[in-house]
Structure 1
C-alpha cells in the first residue's frame, strides 16, 4: 500500500513539476516564437501599408464632404504612419552591425545576446508591432473604398494638352514641321534646309519645336540632333559656334577637347558636321546680325544632304521674300543662303480653341455642361484674356480648386476691374495681371498700399 502511495505521489509530483515548468516557460517560448516570426510579420505589415496607401490615393481623387468618413480616413492615416514608423525602425535595427546572416563568432554572440534579452525582459516594440498589425488586418479596406467611390471625383490635374504626343490646337503646324523634317531628299536641293518658326511671345513656338524634335520618327531620321537655346540678345559668330559645339559635344561626345581658338573650333565643327545628317534647332533667337548669320550658315551648310535647321524666334512683324530668299525683322533683314521654307507662323489660338483650352484648365477635364453657371462665367473670362495662353495656365489652377459660383463670380469681377490688359506681350505682363487679379481676391495679403506690383509695373 505504501509503495502504491509512493508511486502515485511520484507521478503527481512529476506532473505538477511539468506543469510548473511549462507554465513558467510558456512566456519565454511565446517570446521566442514572436522573435522568430519577426520577418514574417514585417512582410505582412508592409503588405497592409501598401493596401492603405493605395486606398489613400483613391481617396485623394475624391471630393469628400462626409465628416464621419473624413474622421475614419484621419484615423487610418495615423495608423499608417505608426505602422510605417515600426517597419522602418525594426528594419533599421536588423541592418545594424551584428544582425547580418553571416556565421562569424561576433554575429553569433550578438544574436545570442538579443535572443536572451528578448526572452528575459520581452520586447515592447515588438509587442506594439504585433498589436498594430492585428489592428491593421482588421480594417475593412473594401468598405472604405466603397464609401470613397460614392463621393464625387475631383477635377483632373493632368491634361491631354500636356501629353508629349499631343499639342493643343496645333495639328496643322505640327504637320508643317514634320513634313519639313521627314520629306524625301530631292535632286538639286541644298545640303541643309531651313525652317523659321516665328510669332509673338508665349504662343507655343518652343512647345511646337520640342514636340517635333523628340518625335521618335525624327530621332531615327537624323544621325546627329541638337536643341540649342540661344537666349541672348546680342550674339556674335564665335559665341554661336562655341554654343553649338558644346551642345553637340555634350549630347553626342564627338570630341572632348575645348578649343579657345575660333579657327580651330570652326575647323573641328565643320569636320564633325560634314559626316552627319544633322538636325539643329536654334531656339529663343532675339536678334541676329546679318553678317553673323552668313558666317554661321556657311559653317552649318557643310552637313550631309537632308540636314535641317529650325530657327525659332519671337519675331512679331516680319516680311518674307521668297524670290530673294530674305526674311526681314523690322528694318534688319537677314539673308538666308539656303532654301528658306514657308515660315510656320504661331499666333494665338482661335476663339473656339482658346475657350476649349480655358475649360480644360479651369474645369480640369470636367464637362462644362455639368456647371452651367461656371460655363457662362468662363466664357466671359476667356474673352477678357484676349487669346493669351500664359494666364490661362496660371489662373486656371486657382479656378480649378474652387469650382463654385461665388468664387468664380468674384474672380470674374476682379478680372474685369483689373487695370492690366492681356495682350501679345512678354509673359511678365501676364504674370503681373495674374498677380493683380489675385491681389483683388486676397486683399491685404499681396497688395500693399504703395509700390505694389501693378503700380510699380504700370503706374
Structure 2
C-alpha cells in the first residue's frame, strides 16, 4: 500500500518493511516450533505480522500530519490501539515459545521459573502474582489458541480494511515539522500515547468561535495520568503561542487567593501566573490553565471568568481546566476530554522501547522475556517504567534482570498480603508503599509521601536508584528525601519522595502464605 511522501520517507518505510519482514520470519520460526501440534499456525502468524506491519506504516505516516477532523483522530486512535495489541500478541507468543524452550533446556535454571509461559496464558484464568485484570489476558476463555489468534487477526484486518477513506484523507493534511526518526527511539524525550488528545486540545485552542462566551475545555483524569504534561506540551506549540498574547497558569490551591483571581497587570506579575507572554502579538487573547484537585467554588469560577472578560473585551480567550473529578464537566462549553492510564498493550510497547532503545528486543529474547514480565507487574505506572528501564539499561545482563524481576514480584506479593492491594494502585491513591531493594538483608524501604516540583527547585542529593542498588554514600537514618526521576519533557518536573528504611510487618497469619523464595525480603 503506497503512502504519499518524500523520497527519504519512502526509503524509511521500505527499510522498515524489510527489517520487519526479516524479524518476523525469525519470530515465526520460533513460534511455529512451539506450536507444531497445531497445523496452520505458520500462515496465521504470517497474517498477523503482515497486518501489524501495515498498521505500523499507516500510523507512522498519519502521526506526521496535522489532522484536524475529530472523526479521523478517533480512527487514528483505533489504528494505534490495534498496533499496540498486534505487537503485544506477537511478543507474548514469541516469549511464550522461548520460555517453553528454556524450561526444556534448563528446568532447574533461574530463568525458567520466570518464563511468560507460566504467566501469559491464553485463557481467562489469571495466573501469577498481581495479574488479575482483563488487560493482562490476551484472549478469552477459549483454550484453542489457533481459533483465538484467528479471531484477533480478523479484528485487526477488519479495522485496517475500514481505513481506506482515512488513508486517502489524511494525506490531504499538511505535514508537521518532525525530528529525525532516531529521536523517537528515546521516549524519555517525547510524549507517548497522547497524540489524539494533543490534536484535540490543539483544535480547541486554534478554532475560532462565533459565540461571545468564553470557551472552556474540561480535562478529567486520575492522578498521574498526564494531564499537566499534555497541557504543557500543547502550550509549547508555536501555533498556540502565536494565537494567544499571554498564557496564565493557576496551579492547585492557587484560586483561594482573592488577589490572584483579579487579573490586573500588576497582580499577574506579582503572583507569577504568567507562563508565556507574546509581546509582538496584535491579538489580545488569554489562554488560562486552571488545575484543581476536585471541584471549584462557583463564586470563584464566576470571578475568574469575569476578570478574563474584562482583560480581553474583544473575546477569543480560552480556558483549560483540569481535575480528577467529573464535577468540572458542567463548566465546559465543549465535550470534556478524558484521560486514563495506558492499556497494558500500549504500556508494554512503551516500556520495551525505553529498555531496549535502538536495540531490537528480538536480539535479546531472554532479556525481552523478563522485561515483559516486569512490565506486566507494573500496572501501567509511568514513574516505575522510567526507574526500572534506566536500571535495566545500565545493567544489560540476564542474571541482574532475573534478580530485579524476583524483587518486583516479591514486592507485589508482600503488598497483596498486607493490604490486599497492588503497590501501584496504592501509589495512585497517594498511600504509603514499601518499595523493593536489591540488598537482601534489608529488603524494603517505606515511601511515605510523594512530591513534584518544577525544574528550578533544588532536588535532594540522594537518588532512588542509589537506594535500590545500594550504591553511593551511606543512606541517612530516619526519614529523608530522595529524587525519583526528572522528566525530560515539559513541564520538566522533578519527582521526589519522603522515605525511611523500614521493613514491612506482615501479620503472622498472612506471613505463612508468602512464598519460601521471597521470605528474605520480608
The TM-score with structure 2 as length reference comes to 0.44
Q: Tell which structure's C-alpha radius of gyration is larger.
A: 1
The TM-score with structure 1 as length reference comes to 0.49
**Greater share of residues in helix:** 1
